[in-house]
């Protein structure tokens, strides 16, 4: 958790819209603290029958992705080149 708080301190202009966690960091304690540090949502493993809340409406994950399929994006990953 200290790493997230340190990152936020040194990069105050960086906007975190969501935090994705895997099984290693997916404990409830970590997810709640990470969400509190950045005041955002945390996302872990989802099942299609799980209920999520989006824009004050509850729906299944399957229904959400059927309604909001996402947008295609190109990511640029910078390596440590000098």
**How many residues in the chain?**
82
In a domain, 48, yes or no: yes
**Confidence bin at 70 (pLDDT 50/70/90):** confident
In a domain, 17, yes or no: yes
Q: Identify whether 22 is part of a domain.
A: yes
Residue 33: inside a domain, yes or no?
Answer: yes
Angle made by CA atoms 60, 65, 67, in degrees to the nearest 5 = 95
Domain count, the chain: 1
Let me know if residue 13 belongs to a domain: yes
Q: Is residue 54 assigned to a domain?
A: yes
Does the residue 30 lie in any domain?
Answer: yes
In a domain, 81, yes or no: no
Residue 7: what pLDDT?
92
Report CA-CA distances (Å) from 35 to 67, 69, 70.
25, 24, 22
Report whether 43 contacts 19 (CB < 8 A).
yes
pTM of the model: 0.50
The pLDDT of residue 10? 94
Rounded CA separation 57/67 (Å): 13
Query: What domain range includes position 35?
Result: 2-67
């Amino acid at each position: 958790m200290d790493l997230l708080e340190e990152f936020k301190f040194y990069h105050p202009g960086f906007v975190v819209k969501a935090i994705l966690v895997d099984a290693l960091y997916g404990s409830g304690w970590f997810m709640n603290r990470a969400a509190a540090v950045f005041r955002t949502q945390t996302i872990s493993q989802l099942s299609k029958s799980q209920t999520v809340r989006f824009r004050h409406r509850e729906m299944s994950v399957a229904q959400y992705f059927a309604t909001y399929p996402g947008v295609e994006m190109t990511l640029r990953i910078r390596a440590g080149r000098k």
